[in-house]
Amino acid sequence: MKKILVTGAQGQLGQCIRDAALEFSELEILFEGKEFLDLTNSQQVTQFFETHAIDYCINAAAYTHVDKAENERDLAFAINGEAVKNLAVTCAKHETVLIHVSTDYVFDGKKETPYTESDPTHPINVYGASKLEGEAYIRHCCPHHFIVRTSWLYSQYGHNFLKTILRLAQEKNQLTMTTDQIGAPTNANDLANVLLQLIAQNSTAYGTYHFSNEGAVTWYDFAKAILEISGFSEKVTVAKTNNYPTFAERPKNSVLSNDKLNKLLGISSKNWKESLETLIQTKW
């Protein structure tokens, strides 16, 4: 039986992987949060890998505070850069396949069509730069890796746009949402399933892949759909703005092309709205 380690297990994606794992009973999975496996503590990581024979490590741990990262550069790079390097070196030493999750924010957003894996990267904020550094370390230190970039994650867990909109809908009658960024909202449960499929299918086509739900929308469109599906659209209206200042700059277009991973796994990524509907109807 393959033994899998999931790091960052208390985070949004970590918790979705725990749920998705119920459908993969052939996999033995150890879930470790920061409390017992802090990736910045290299001794702890070494000890963990020496104690457990891990075949695959899914790294769902990360520093994910996009705006705060502008003022916490060292911390962002320590977690998303240096700690990932140490994890990659450790995985290589123990012949563990490293499945690492990265972000659409490695791109600058100037492209007008979906980003493919071979497009040049050029992050425009500290978070994106720190994630890109982690990717580079993995390519250099751990040949048996999958780097899976994703975008605009939401789910029933953690802090995310869906939960924020549902909370605001209880408190306000009008919301203002930006139309100046386009991306693909991605149900973290779908991503979790795909990461486990990579393992279940024994794929050895190591490299970089993109995974998001299918489609391209603005935050305004996403908010409007959440309100409609959850039955709030009568009570709450959404206004558009194309100037919603945030501390960190964000790419204007961060839609990812899923073709490479769809082909590898023989799947077709779900439409963003269908997946949103399923989640709201089953979890709220």
CB-nearer residue toward ligand NAP: 78 or 233: 78
For residues 135 and 244, what is the distance between their CA atoms, to the nearest angstrom? 30
Asked if 150 interacts with ligand NAP (CB under 6 A), we say yes
User: What is the length of the chain?
Assistant: 284
| Catalytic annotation present for 63 | no
* Catalytic residue selected from 63, 115, 127, 209: 127
In the window 225-254, what residues touch ligand NAP (CB under 6 A)?
none
Asked if 46 interacts with ligand NAP (CB under 6 A), we say no
DSSP-assigned states of every residue in 219-281: HHHHHHHHHHHTT-TTT-EEEEES----SS---SB--B--HHHHHHHT--PPBHHHHHHHHHH
Asked if 208 interacts with ligand NAP (CB under 6 A), we say no
In the window 25-44, what residues touch ligand NAP (CB under 6 A)?
34, 38-40
Contact 102, 149 (CB under 8 A): yes
Contact 104, 254 (CB under 8 A): yes
DSSP H stretches of helix in the chain: 12-20, 42-51, 73-77, 83-93, 126-141, 161-171, 188-200, 219-229, 259-265, 272-283
Please pick, from the candidates 12, 86, 125, 208, the single residue that binds ligand NAP as defined by CB under 6 A.
12
Backbone angles phi, psi at 111, to 5 degrees: -70, 150
Asked if 62 interacts with ligand NAP (CB under 6 A), we say yes
Asked if 101 interacts with ligand NAP (CB under 6 A), we say yes
Please pick, from the candidates 5, 17, 60, 184, the single residue that binds ligand NAP as defined by CB under 6 A.
60
Number of residues that bind ligand NAP (CB under 6 A): 26
Q: Which residues bind ligand NAP (CB under 6 A)?
A: 7-8, 10-13, 34, 38-40, 60-64, 79, 83, 101, 103-104, 131, 150-153, 158
Active site residues: 127
